[in-house]
Amino acid sequence: MLTTHPLSHTVATDWTPTTWRSRPASHQPTYPCPAALQDTLRALAQRTALVDADKILQLRHLISQAQNGHGFILQGGDCAESFERCSKDATASQLKVLQQMSQVLMHGLQTPVICLARLAGQYAKPRSSERENQGQQTLPVYRGDIVNDSAFTPSARQADPERLLQAYACGASTLGFVRALYETGIDELLKPAHWPTAWIDALPERKAFQRTLQGVQHTTHFMTSLSGSDADRFLHRETFVSHEALLLDYENALTRKVPGLDGWFNLSTHFPWIGKRTAELEGAHVEYCRGIRNPMGVKIGPDVSPDALLALMDRLNPRNEPGRLTLIHRMGADLLRETLPALLNAVTRSGRNVLWLCDPMHGNTETLTCGTKTRRFEQIMREIEAAFSVHREHGTHLGGLHLELTGENVTECLGGARNLQPEDLSRRYLSKVDPRLNHEQALELALRVAHLAR
Ligand code: PEP
Ligand code: CO
């Protein structure tokens, strides 16, 4: 078994930030004017980095600790961020729900929780088909705001390279706001007035949940009062950011060398991940990701075999470095028990270092007869419960959750304490891609996980 120190690094000699260009790259747009794309990429390559390499390595260290059972990752945010909603209020709302959930999880799991937001770069989406039909018309599909616009018109759907610079600008302004909020205002978001609680009254478990919430708020208040101390730093554990490394031109342009450190870093985000649809061993996404030093995730669906998984792990982490690789399984509540054990056994037997996360969202998406895409709260919880118990049965550690959620009061997922029904969804359905848990549903999920842990 190969192991190395988490901060050591061997640079692959057959890799550069552009070797992916000789591999098949799926889910990339076609730009009408290649010269305009090249101009934009040159401009992007001149922009300053969005995140620090030191923080990337800090996250990698925290992930290596979580691999050993010390720490839990809460990764969450929008399915697709939009330029229109790149605002201080929307960002504050995301940080609020993630911070509140992480306080609840810390309390229940009795372990540090690391917030990893899907934020400041989650602008590109893989889609199941290239084109979309509406009535008689067929147009290129919406691929996320970094590529085109969601409106169903020919000009909106054309891929526009200017959007790469807009994505960079939105990412930069979001990160600037996150830093400012951590310096000045994050305590405010944790005060009891910002926690919705009325929803709890409808639940049979209300007494136990209320007690837990009171305990959480009590601890949070106490720790906030220790301003300037270690406890205060712990409470303010910062938020790291992540996005799917899908649009490789963007990732490539922000891949840099850093003075004093070996190797290459993707400085657009702390934690890029490879989506389920682009995790082919010989594809461009795996080729790009194998050469950067960031900690990274790979989404694993029910169709991945143990051998294919081990080959992927060897490619992305040939020296079996701790903290480097996170596997995010997204099996679906009905398939998890059938599909996960073989993968857990193969990885454990091979002695490979990995952090396991459960994404209970992407295997549980359904389309209602009216055409609306949704997910059921109860099914999401069922996958989480099954994941905890299958990991326990196999002697592995479930080190975190990967969720699509928002701090806003949307109606996109069914169920939860308010028991949202199909007819409620049209009330406030804002997501342009996948349905997210709303603030109440997200807190309910955190409370249920905290109680599960007891
Ligand atoms: C996503 O996380 O939004 C996504 C597309 O997931 P997956 O790659 O697991 O389908
Ligand atoms: Co999604």
Name the pLDDT band for 35 (thresholds 50, 70, 90). very high
Q: Is the pLDDT of residue 212 over 60?
A: yes
Name the pLDDT band for 453 (thresholds 50, 70, 90). confident
Please give the distance, rounded to the nearest whole angstrom, from the Cα atom of residue 6 to the centre of ligand 2.
30
The tens digit of pLDDT for each residue in 394-406 reads: 999 999 999 999 9
Our mutation pick for probing the ligand 1 site, out of 27, 278, 330, 375, counting the most ligand atoms within 8 A of Cβ, is 330
**Closest ligand 1 atom to Cα of 328:** 9
Please give the distance, rounded to the nearest whole angstrom, from the Cα atom of residue 125 to the centre of ligand 2.
8
- Distance separating alpha carbons of residues 4 and 2, to the nearest angstrom: 7
The answer to whether the CB of 407 is under 6 A from ligand 1 is: no
What local confidence, expressed as pLDDT, does residue 224 receive? Answer: 75
Lowest pLDDT segment from 113-122, 195-204, 253-262, 377-386? 195-204
**Closest ligand 1 atom to Cα of 118:** 2
Rg (alpha carbons) of the chain, rounded to whole number: 21
Report yes or no: 44 and 162 within 8 Å, Cβ to Cβ.
no
Q: Which ligand is nearest to the CA of 277?
A: 1
The answer to whether the CB of 436 is under 6 A from ligand 1 is: no
**Closest ligand 1 atom to Cα of 434:** 3
Q: Is the pLDDT of residue 13 over 90?
A: no
Report yes or no: 142 and 132 within 8 Å, Cβ to Cβ.
yes
The tens digit of pLDDT for each residue in 285-342 reads: 999 999 999 999 999 999 999 999 999 999 999 999 999 999 999 999 999 999 999 9
What local confidence, expressed as pLDDT, does residue 9 receive? Answer: 64
* Among protein residues, the one whose CA lies closest to atom 10 of ligand 1: 276
What local confidence, expressed as pLDDT, does residue 4 receive? Answer: 42
Name the pLDDT band for 2 (thresholds 50, 70, 90). very low
Q: Mean pLDDT, to the nearest integer, of 130-146?
A: 97
Pairing state between β 131-134 and 325-329: unpaired
Give the residues across from 52 on adjacent strands.
none
**Closest ligand 1 atom to Cα of 299:** 9
Tokens of 453: 């842990």
What local confidence, expressed as pLDDT, does residue 189 receive? Answer: 83
Percent over 90 (pLDDT), the chain: 88
Name the pLDDT band for 237 (thresholds 50, 70, 90). low
Name the pLDDT band for 26 (thresholds 50, 70, 90). very high
Please give the distance, rounded to the nearest whole angstrom, from the Cα atom of residue 51 to the centre of ligand 1.
23
Closest alpha carbon to 284 in 74, 33, 17: 17
Name the pLDDT band for 192 (thresholds 50, 70, 90). confident
Q: What is the mean pLDDT of the chain?
A: 94
Residue type at 382? R
Name the pLDDT band for 1 (thresholds 50, 70, 90). very low
What local confidence, expressed as pLDDT, does residue 182 receive? Answer: 82
* Among protein residues, the one whose CA lies closest to atom 3 of ligand 1: 79
* Among protein residues, the one whose CA lies closest to atom 1 of ligand 1: 79
Report yes or no: 250 and 276 within 8 Å, Cβ to Cβ.
no
Q: Mean pLDDT, to the nearest integer, of 182-211?
A: 88
Q: Is the pLDDT of residue 236 over 50?
A: yes
SS3 of the chain: CCCCCCCCCCCCCCCCCCHHHHCCCCCCCCCCCHHHHHHHHHHHHHCCCCCCHHHHHHHHHHHHHHHCCCCEEEEEECCCCCCCCCCHHHHHHHHHHHHHHHHHHHHHHCCCEEEEEECCCCCCCCCCCCEEEECCEEEECCCCCCCCCCCCCHHHHCCCCHHHHHHHHHHHHHHHHHHHHHHHCHHHHCCHHHCCCHHHHHCCCHHHHHHHHHHHHHHHHHHHHCCCCHHHHHHCCCEEEEEECCCHHHHHHCEEECCCCCCEEECCCCEEEECHHHCCCCCHHHHHHHCECCCEEEEECCCCCHHHHHHHHHHHCCCCCCCCEEEEECCCCCCHHHHHHHHHHHHHHHCCCCEEEECCCCCCCEECCCCCEECEHHHHHHHHHHHHHHHHHCCCCEEEEEEEECCCCCCCCEECCCCECHHHHHHCCCCCCCCCECHHHHHHHHHHHHHHCC
The tens digit of pLDDT for each residue in 53-89 reads: 999 999 999 999 999 999 999 999 999 999 999 999 9
Report yes or no: 255 and 264 within 8 Å, Cβ to Cβ.
yes
The answer to whether the CB of 276 is under 6 A from ligand 1 is: yes
Report yes or no: 281 and 291 within 8 Å, Cβ to Cβ.
no
The tens digit of pLDDT for each residue in 250-291 reads: 999 999 999 999 999 999 999 999 999 999 999 999 999 999
